[in-house]
């Protein structure tokens, strides 16, 4: 128990920054993008890499933020899934 308390005290003494919520990470990441590249389709892999999380957690937040999940169908049987940011971010 004392090791845990010592660790908390050390974090308090350092320049500790609180961990951002996934929602805030996504908002910050998208708003920090250059304006010309904000309004385009994004792959889940690209978003996962940017916010360092998994798609199963990210998709819930993206839907809540107004993003749209789309698919580009192909006659070859494979399709590309992508995400579009909300229209009001233009």
Cα–Cα distance list, 59 to 21, 43, 47, 53, 84 (Å): 14, 11, 10, 10, 12
20, pLDDT greater than 90: no
- One-character DSSP codes across the chain: -HHHHHHHHHHHHS---PPPPHHHHHHHHHHHS-GGGTSS-B-HHHHHHHHTS-HHHHHHHHHHTT-EEEEE--TTS--EEEEE--GGG-
Give the model confidence (pLDDT) of 41-85 as tens digits.
999 999 999 999 999 999 999 999 999 999 888 777 777 889 999
Confidence class for position 90, pLDDT limits 50, 70, 90: very low
pLDDT category of residue 17 using cuts at 50, 70 and 90: low
Model's pTM, two decimal places?
A: 0.71
């Amino acid at each position: 128990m004392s090791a845990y308390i010592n660790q908390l005290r050390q974090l308090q003494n350092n320049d500790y920054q609180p961990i951002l919520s996934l929602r805030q990470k996504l908002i910050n990441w998208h708003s920090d993008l250059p304006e010309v590249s904000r309004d385009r389709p994004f792959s889940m892999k690209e978003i996962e890499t940017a916010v360092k999380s998994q798609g199963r957690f990210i998709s819930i937040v993206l839907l809540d933020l107004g993003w749209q999940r789309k698919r580009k169908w192909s006659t070859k049987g494979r399709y590309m899934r992508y995400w579009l940011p909300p229209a009001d971010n233009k």
